[in-house]
Structure 1
């Protein structure tokens, strides 16, 4: 049934595109987040900026809440040209473009300033461009904060506390290796199934940033939130090359400029959302734990070593980031 709905939406998009072809170019953008999420708000800023810069000749139609499918499904729609753009986690994107794996390395970034000096500098732009050969051109990065552990029955204060716990992770090898290296049992699971999985004890916990912890309502069934901030995987705004190549040079300039402006606005939305989310978490009665992060970083060192061994071509990117 879901597949039929996606096909119907794509058909409507195609028909609408044909009707408007002589007037405007419509950029259809699908993503999985709710409309209250700070990343969605950043996408709306992209829409506003692009329509303003192009004087309405380029329009953006946004499909939030997973209307066009999962992140992986939406990426595949970009590749075949059925949808123009999307926003996905760099973790999901790493399954299509290997270089994005680097951004999931635990404790890679020293702080927020270091992270965005990398992402908005030469290294970050190079990684965005790497996706073009897979029909997925990166436009900009959105702040997705730092991921931390939350659990339903047992508090995590040190890596030792992770032993024996089943922790849901994204279906990404870096995340799986990281949790396993710290002593937990990494359990890839669809995000939409996670609330019930925690509630029923299928998994003991998960890991995510504060806005997602709240927007998913996982705080309702989790007693502990440990701010170990083990990874800072950004979100990425992408455009399919099949759509990009149909744009004029001026239109490409407008699209990139609108993306860059939206990225700066989204940082503010993110900061405000983290503050609001943490207040909700504390008011609900979740115990917020501030652990010694160096203990977790030490346990995950081998993840980086093994990654560079497996992908020696990535070593230069890692070294550039560290410098």
Structure 2
């Protein structure tokens, strides 16, 4: 039996199944079981096992069982973990190209993001990941982040002025909020509920699924679909693991990984629809169809700060010209 990952599987059902395979791969995810990313990689594992006639097994470890995102990324780079599903945020300082596709309003819609990431721009970013020992198998959907708060409906950019919003600990996010005329308050995700409840902040921003599952809708009933950030995520395999595989097995994983992208995106669309319906049923007001033009125009100083090299400017132009 060949164990690709650096750590032997713990005893139990997973180990028993793995014992039947020649190659055992472990994939890490911070999301819980049932989440679209987790289920898409599990689907991939089923396909890989079937197409390899039981030679290759892929087990997904959800809910940060193998560590938090930053830790699992590093372990995958070293080959301790074989695969990881991760957001682009932790890579912004490592793979410069990921910072460009993390800019506010760089994508017009989720469909625009899919077309960009599945094309030449995605291939260019994959080359950046490969330089850091990660082989991209596909790009998932991290969702469209929008504002929610407990004070008032946000229908225009003027409604944001002076409000306090929690953001991730990211310079881009802080600068984005300043450009909107709002105040950024970086804080851990787990503190957001109580911070809104006690008035430390007015609200936060995230995708509809997170707004729902976190329970934030209970203390912030106004949710505005401004979609200021449409985030791709990456599914990657360790270069250490990759180079141990035969070419035909590499091809099998590449194909199954690419196919899992469509599965994930379909599951995500269903999850978003379910979450929006659930929060509205619970009393939230979802503000749709706002004019995004002033929001987009306000991002000019953010782009001026972060899009400074000829390469970055070319990528921005390529993304914007993609139809």
Give me the TM-score of the superposition, normalised by structure 1.
0.89
**Structure 1, unaligned runs of 5 or more:** 1-8
Structure with greater helix share of residues: 1
Partner of 1:307: 306
Indicate conservation of the 8 Å contact 1:91/1:233, yes or no. Answer: no
Match of 1:218 among 216, 219, 223: 216
**In structure 1, distance between residues paired with 2:6 and 2:61:** 11
Partner of 1:4: none
Indicate conservation of the 8 Å contact 1:29/1:85, yes or no. Answer: yes
**In structure 1, distance between residues paired with 2:186 and 2:51:** 42
Indicate conservation of the 8 Å contact 2:21/2:56, yes or no. Answer: no
Query: CA deviation digits over 1:129-180, x for unaligned, max 9?
Result: 2111112222111122311011123432222222332222223332222122
Partner of 1:238: 236
Paired positions, count: 312
Partner of 1:118: 116
Partner of 2:59: 61
Match of 1:102 among 100, 103, 118: 100
Match of 1:156 among 148, 151, 154: 154
Local SS of the residue matching 2:39: helix
Match of 2:82 among 63, 81, 84: 84
**In structure 1, distance between residues paired with 2:297 and 2:101:** 18
Measured after TM superposition, the shift of residue 114 of structure 1 is 2.2
Measured after TM superposition, the shift of residue 93 of structure 1 is 2.5
The change in CA–CA distance for 1:144 and 1:53 in structure 2 (over 3 A counts) is same
Indicate conservation of the 8 Å contact 1:49/1:258, yes or no. Answer: yes
Partner of 2:203: 205
**Structure 2, unaligned runs of 5 or more:** none
Measured after TM superposition, the shift of residue 228 of structure 1 is 0.5
Measured after TM superposition, the shift of residue 56 of structure 1 is 2.0
**In structure 2, distance between residues paired with 1:149 and 1:142:** 22
The change in CA–CA distance for 1:92 and 1:201 in structure 2 (over 3 A counts) is farther
Indicate conservation of the 8 Å contact 2:97/2:312, yes or no. Answer: yes
Local SS of the residue matching 2:142: coil
Could you say what the CA RMSD is over the residues aligned between the two structures, in angstroms? 2.3
Match of 2:258 among 257, 260, 269: 260
Partner of 1:147: 145
Partner of 2:292: 293
Partner of 1:193: 191
The change in CA–CA distance for 1:251 and 1:160 in structure 2 (over 3 A counts) is same
Indicate conservation of the 8 Å contact 1:139/1:239, yes or no. Answer: yes
**In structure 2, distance between residues paired with 1:14 and 1:56:** 20
**In structure 1, distance between residues paired with 2:20 and 2:110:** 44
Measured after TM superposition, the shift of residue 23 of structure 1 is 4.8
Query: CA deviation digits over 1:301-323, x for unaligned, max 9?
Result: 221222112x4431111111112
The change in CA–CA distance for 1:46 and 1:171 in structure 2 (over 3 A counts) is farther
Indicate conservation of the 8 Å contact 1:167/1:203, yes or no. Answer: yes
Measured after TM superposition, the shift of residue 11 of structure 1 is 4.9
The change in CA–CA distance for 1:204 and 1:68 in structure 2 (over 3 A counts) is farther
